[in-house]
Amino acid sequence: MNTGNNINHERFAHIDLIKLNIFGFGLSTLWACLHSIILPLRLLDFVIVAQKNTYLDLLILTGLFLAMIVQPIAGALSDRSNFKWGRRRPYILMGSLLVLLILPGIGFSTNYLTIFTIYCLLQISSNIAQGPFQGFIPDLVPERRRGTASGWRGLLNLIGGVLLIRMIAPLMDRYFIEHEISGLWVTLGILAFILSGVLLTTLITVKERRATSNLKSSLLPSLYKSFKVDIKARPEFIVFLIACLFVFIAWGTLMGHMFYFLTDVIELASPAAATGNLLIVVGTCLLATVYSTGLLCDKVGRKPIVVSSGFLGGLGIVALYLSSFISKNFLHIMLSGGILGICGGAWVSAQWALATDLVDKGEEARYLGLVNISIAGAGALSRLTGPVIDFFNQVSLNLGYAVMLLVCFMCFIIGSLLLLRVKTTGQ
């Protein structure tokens, strides 16, 4: 290892991989908390309760479409940048500062239109940073270590997304049950503090090589090319994107409606705390598998793990249905969450490692931005289930949530079957 904070690009210790991925910890913390608890509770201040799923999904659907546009553009522009201190970090700094300026608007919002606007601005700002950030692993990590690097990426993202949700759950329950606005503001302050910390850590400790990009096209052609993939030349990449779309639809549908699911189906008195407890179980199982499967990816290949994890997700959905609608036992629901957590840990590591294998040299951030179009597109499509849930819930009590689980099951299975068709060298 070199002395100081500079990352050694030939030999990667675990601390180096943490430095590369720590910014993802902050982003996952922000969005997991917003999507799982903060926004579902905040919208109840502004919308009709019977239409809460519809309003929530409209909000997030719009934001995710913005993410699909902004992230690959920011990634492509960073691929073509030649800043003295790197082609990724300037965008990370700009996007993060915008997020920190806009985030308090969640607390200041007084109606649905205002919070809708704030949310969309947060998506734009966050993805200005995230698109270039995703270029770190293919830029700096040798191929033989990318499975391990992806394991650390998944591990840090999950720690941020799970532990912080559990931390803020009591604060948001206080806001929900006792109408104490301080719970909301403390929560937003925690998120801002964490994002500021990971931003500074990334800017100081990640030392990029001086950019030597030979991609010299002008701005408009660069923006057009941001979304361009040669389907005939890259059929494996296209199949991979479609498979990811289905699996992430399942995850987005499930996690996006979990708070309302537990509130309505299980009828819990403290739904925010219950959601936090369930996510702790899911997250513990994720943490137990995400890093080890990242290591395993470097030994046995990505595809066997990613395909198996998708089928395991289908099994977890079946278990969740039985525990929610048949036994109606929260302990059984927690066990189902454990199955889904193991699935998620394996999927996160193997899927991202496989993605880094499929990207074109010199355009890593652009291609990984396209992977995130698939992920964001899945999140957007998963939000179309909100009106479906509300419709079927009016037909029969909680029927909409049963339909939701059926959709999740089908998406896991279809995505896994598609991944069987993806062939890469060594997989």
pLDDT tens-digit profile of 31-40?
888 988 899 8
Could you tell me which residue, 313 or 267, shows the higher pLDDT?
313
User: In this predicted model, what pLDDT tens digit does every residue of 128-177 receive, in sequence order?
Assistant: 999 889 888 777 877 777 767 777 777 787 677 667 777 787 888 788 77
Q: Which helix H or strand E contains 120, and what residues bound it?
A: helix 112-133
User: In this predicted model, what pLDDT tens digit does every residue of 221-247 receive, in sequence order?
Assistant: 555 555 556 556 567 788 888 888 899
Q: How many Cα atoms sit within 13 Å of 282 on the Cβ side? A: 26
Q: Find the length of the chain.
A: 427
- CA nearest neighbour of 85 among 202, 217, 2, 197: 202
7: left (phi over 0), alpha (psi -120 to 50) or beta: beta
Pick the CATH number of 14-207+226-419 from 2.40.128.20, 1.10.274.30, 1.20.1250.20, 3.40.50.2300: 1.20.1250.20
Percent of the chain with pLDDT strictly greater than 70: 85
User: In this predicted model, what pLDDT tens digit does every residue of 134-143 receive, in sequence order?
Assistant: 888 777 877 7
Token pair, residue 310, equals 């998708």
pLDDT on residue 274? 79
347: left (phi over 0), alpha (psi -120 to 50) or beta: alpha
The pTM for the full model equals 0.67
8 A C-beta contact, residue 313 and residue 247:
yes
The DSSP symbol for 45 reads: T
Tokens 């639809």 belong to 249
Residue 337 has pLDDT above 70, yes or no: yes
Residue 9 has pLDDT above 60, yes or no: no
- CA nearest neighbour of 77 among 32, 21, 36, 135: 135
* Confidence at 211, pLDDT banded by 50, 70, 90: low
> DSSP assignment of 19-34, as one string?
HHHHHHHHHHHHHHHI
CB atoms within 10 A of CB 198: 22
Cα–Cα distance, 34 to 207 (Å, whole number): 31
Q: Which of 118-122, 156-160, 191-195, 198-202 has the lowest mean pLDDT?
A: 156-160
CB atoms within 10 A of CB 224: 12
CA dist 31 → 39, 44, 157, 237 (Å): 10, 19, 10, 27
Token pair, residue 75, equals 């990634």
Q: What is the mean pLDDT of residues 15-28?
A: 87
Tokens 């606007």 belong to 117
Calculate the average pLDDT of the chain.
81
Q: Which of 70-74, 235-239, 243-247, 423-427 has the lowest mean pLDDT?
A: 423-427
* Confidence at 270, pLDDT banded by 50, 70, 90: confident
Residue 345 has pLDDT above 70, yes or no: yes
